[in-house]
Amino acid sequence: MSANIKGPAIFLAQFAGDEAPFNSLQAITKWAGDLGYKGVQIPSWDGRLFDLEKAGESKTYCDEIAGICAENGLEITEISTHLQGQLVAVNPAYDLQFDAFAPESVHGNPDARQKWAVQQMYLAAKASQHLGLKACPSFTGSLAFPYLYPWPQRPAGLIEEAFAELGRRWTPILNAFEDAGVDIAYEIHPGEDVFDGVTYEMFLAEVKGHSRARILYDPSHFVLQQLDYLAFIDIYHEHIAAFHVKDAEFNPTGRQGVYSGYQGWTERAGRFRSLGDGQVDFKGIFSKLAQYDFDRWAVLEWECCLKHPEDGAAEGAPFIRDHIIHVTDKAFDDFAGGETDFAQIKKTLGI
């Protein structure tokens, strides 16, 4: 039996806020359900919607959270740990910026911040298990990314040691997720040390091919890098455990290209767009994923430098729904076939 992609679903991180209906799980899931979504990906760090510590310790609390979503016709697709995963590995160049991802109690203390992040990941493993989820989206963090461009010349062994350290930090966490029966779906994302296929393979080697070290596929980041996002599915489909449906465009000029001249989002050659407003070939993507029996959730991640988020959310549900392929369980030419007759086959082949 062929598998079908689930959806449409929506990642709540970009919509959560202090004003109704975005300031509580009850209200925001009703809003999402009314738009036609069937699933929600919950940001585990947003206390207005979710308490990760409670979720990691209490199956009862997780049942209550799932019940709130179910009241509004929604399933929980995953709980996201992007911010905590980022803090598992931080180059000192980013310390000031990434302190904002953690509680004030660990600001200015990179070691304490990193320990907090690791503990958060352990809680996420248990919370995902309590919720009966298959994957937990996250980031790898970045030790080597400031040295992305090989000028000045990188010292020999710099990149190798960065990835070796990533492996040392993530292996115990991956083991905890193995115990919980949950994948970590690392988003392939610039700013992370794992930002393309080659770096994913480097990371996978350092965690000894750990079966829980998998991929969150988001084509928008590949458009901005000018990477072939359809071929990526052909190569890595067995590793893809989560899917963000996000659009983007790349419009190079005589003045800027991939690096986009330090410009803000509206002036960059590469920009994130609402679904259908960019250049991503979603028909091709959904066809590829259907071909490889991807059976997890298609989750809108809304990020657009032009369109209002509520418009993007309203348009996202029908866009995803219309792209999901109900995979056939029979061949189109079955009508012309017959029962297998091996004697006839041998005769046809002259053997």
Overall average pLDDT of the 269-278 stretch: 98
**Lowest-confidence pick of 44-48, 181-185, 289-293, 332-336:** 332-336
- Report pLDDT digits (tens) over 186-196: 999 999 999 99
The label of the residue with tokens 């800027």 reads 256
Which residues lie closer than 8 Å to 72 by C-beta, 6 or more apart?
Answer: 26, 29, 30, 32, 33
pLDDT-based confidence at 340, cuts 50/70/90?
A: confident
Q: What is the pLDDT of residue 332?
A: 61
Give percent of the chain with pLDDT exceeding 70.
97
3-state secondary structure the chain: CCCCCEEEEEECCCCCCCCCCCCCHHHHHHHHHHCCCCEEEEECCCCCCCCHHHHHHCHHHHHHHHHHHHHCCCEEEEEEEHHHHHCCCECHHHHHHHHHHCCHHHCCCHHHHHHHHHHHHHHHHHHHHHHCCCEEEECCCECCHHHCCCCCCCCCCHHHHHHHHHHHHHHHHHHHHHHHCCEEEEECCECECCCCHHHHHHHHHHCCCCCCEEEEECHHHHHHHCCCHHHHHHHHHHHEEEEEECEEEECCCCCCCCCHHHCCHHHCCEEEECCCCCCCCHHHHHHHHHHCCCCCEEEECCCCCCCCHHHHHHHHHHHHHHHCCCCCCCCCCHHHCCCCCHHHHHHHHCC
pLDDT band with cut points at 50, 70 and 90 for residue 335: low
Q: What is the pLDDT of residues 8-43, one digit of tens each?
A: 999 999 999 999 999 999 999 999 999 999 999 999
Residue 152 has pLDDT above 70, yes or no: yes
Could you tell me the pLDDT band of residue 3, with boundaries at 50, 70 and 90? Answer: confident
Q: Are 126 and 180 in contact (CB under 8 A)?
A: yes
- Per the model's pLDDT, the better-predicted residue between 348 and 204 turns out to be 204
Cis peptide before 43 (omega within 30 of 0): no
Could you tell me if 206 and 155 are in contact, meaning their C-beta atoms sit under 8 angstroms apart?
Answer: no
CB burial readout 169-207, b (16+ within 10 A) else e? bbeebbebbeebebbbbbbbbeebbbbbbebbebbbebb
Q: Report pLDDT for 331.
A: 65
The model's pLDDT over 93-151, given as tens digits with 9 standing for 90+, comes to: 999 999 999 999 999 999 999 999 999 999 999 999 999 999 999 999 999 999 999 99
pLDDT value of residue 333: 62
Pairing of strands 135-138, 183-187: parallel
Q: Global pTM?
A: 0.95
- CATH architecture for the domain at 6-349: Alpha-Beta Barrel (3.20)
User: Residue 336: what pLDDT?
Assistant: 59
Residue 334 — very low, low, confident or very high, per pLDDT cuts 50/70/90? low
- Which of 302, 304, 298 lies closest to 22 in space, CA to CA? 302
Task: Provide the pLDDT for residue 330.
Answer: 73
